Amino acid sequence: MTRKPVAKTTIGNCTVAIVGAGRLATFLAVALNDAGFPIAEIVARDSARSRRRARFLAEKVGARAVIARSAALNVGLLWFCVPDREIRSAASSVADHIPARTSATGANVPGANVRFAFHSSGALLSQELEPLREAGAAVASVHPLMTFVAGTHPSLAGVPFALEGDRTATQMARRIVQELGGESVFLSPSSKRAYHAWATMASPLLLAFLVTLEEAARAAGLAPAEARRMSLPIVRQTLANYSRLGAARSFSGPLVRGDAETVAKHLAVLKKYPAACKVYVALAQEALRKLPVRNQYELKKLLLE
């Protein structure tokens, strides 16, 4: 199919339709609206639960709650906030209505103003939006490196947004990210998967480590809630040190001292908690490779036993 030319859209008059009504959609719709980007429609799946969530979000931002076949799509930007596995099918569903309306009634019709389409998957490329690219929109993947969970309202100030896609779409995304207070980072298609693996380690797998930390605390007779409360001061200070000083200068404890006897005692008590013991050994071995550890020979022998 021949691609239609993509017209330029100024940032000042870019209205938005959000496809989806989950956690990310809710946060992003409010943030965009507060930053001066009017939200015209919240496009939901045709199910009672999705329509209910869409109505709730639409009320927050002064938008209409619609499903794909009834959406006007009289916007400059479509932003998809749906699960990765649903992005392409959602794009196809929305794209099906754009050329149909255009060819039936002419250029001045709902859907004819769509110039950009974004999705927010950290792992998938902008090509998931190919149906909209073929309908004339410039497309991009725009992923905020932030965690969005119920009951939280994270700031976007300084948050990196990973951008990949068509040049005009990523330029538009960069301008929007700037208005949101974030920082744009341009990725090549070949680096997207590695980027998302790293992002997953930064938050979801960090939580997996913290859950394992609670298991290790059981050896000291601490309940999970007590372990969380007691560990947070040292965790926060470690992150503050890492931010200011880097990893090597923030490193402390028995490994930096080369105290193999203490590490042996740790391993002995953690044998009753195999998951915590495996994580301890894996992280200690990584410390030997990457951080300033004394008495490496004795520690390596101990960690390989």
**pLDDT tens, residue by residue, 181-197:** 999 999 999 999 999 99
- State which H helix or E strand residue 134 sits in: helix 130-134
151 confidence band (pLDDT: 50, 70, 90): confident
Sequence-distant (6+) residues with CB within 8 A of 257 are: 294
Strand pairing category for 64-67 and 39-44: parallel
Average pLDDT of the segment spanning 275-280: 95
Torsion angle of C-alpha atoms 32, 34, 38, 41, degrees rounded to 10: 70
- Phi, psi (degrees; rounded to nearest 5) at 183: -125, 130
What value does the mean pLDDT take over residues 293-303?
94
pLDDT band (50, 70, 90) for residue 18: very high
Question: Which has the higher per-residue pLDDT, 4 or 276?
Answer: 276
Better-predicted residue by pLDDT, 8 or 66: 66
DSSP string computed for 46-100? SSHHHHHHHHHHHHHHT-EEEEGGG----SSEEEE-S-GGGHHHHHHHHHTHHHH
Q: Please state, as a whole number, how many other Cβ atoms lie within 10 Å of the Cβ of residue 31.
A: 20
Are 118 and 172 in contact by the 8 Å Cβ rule? The answer is: no
More confident residue, 305 or 220: 220
Is residue 257's pLDDT more than 50? Answer: yes
CB–CB of 176/37 below 8 Å?
yes
What are the pLDDT digits (tens) for 97-148?
A: 775 444 444 444 445 578 999 999 999 999 999 999 999 999 999 999 999 9
**Residue 128: its pLDDT value, please?**
98
Q: What are 87's two structure tokens?
A: 């992005």
Residue 49 confidence (pLDDT) above 60: yes
